[in-house]
Amino acid sequence: MPILYLRRLTGLQRSLRADIHLGLTLSFVAGAINAGGFIVVNQYTSHMTGTVSSMADGLILGDFRFALAALGTLLCFILGATCTELLVNWARGRRLQSEYAIPLMLEAVLLLIFGFVGRQLHEHMGLFVSITVMLLCFLMGLQNAIITRISNAVIRTTHVTGIVTDIGMEFGKMLFWNRGVGKGDEAYVRANRGKLVLLINLLIMFFLGGVVGAFGFEFIGYTTTIFLSVLLFLLAIMPVIDDFRLRWKRK
Query: What pTM was estimated for this model as a whole?
Result: 0.88
Instruction: Enumerate residues 6+ apart whose C-beta is below 8 A from 174.
Output: 191, 193, 196
Mean pLDDT of all residues in 42-68 = 87
Do the beta carbons of residue 243 and residue 96 sit within 8 Å?
A: yes
What type of residue sits at position 223? T
Is the model's pLDDT at 250 over the cut of 70? no
Query: Among 69-73, 92-96, 180-184, whose mean pLDDT is lowest?
Result: 180-184
Closest residue by Cα to residue 67 from 55, 82, 76: 55
Mean pLDDT of all residues in 58-69 = 90
Q: How many CB atoms lie within 10 A of CB 179?
A: 5
Q: Output 154 or 200, whichever has higher pLDDT.
A: 200
Instruction: Enumerate residues 6+ apart whose C-beta is below 8 A from 26.
Output: 143, 146, 147, 157
Mean pLDDT of all residues in 63-76 = 90
pLDDT at position 1: 46
- Name the average pLDDT for the chain: 87
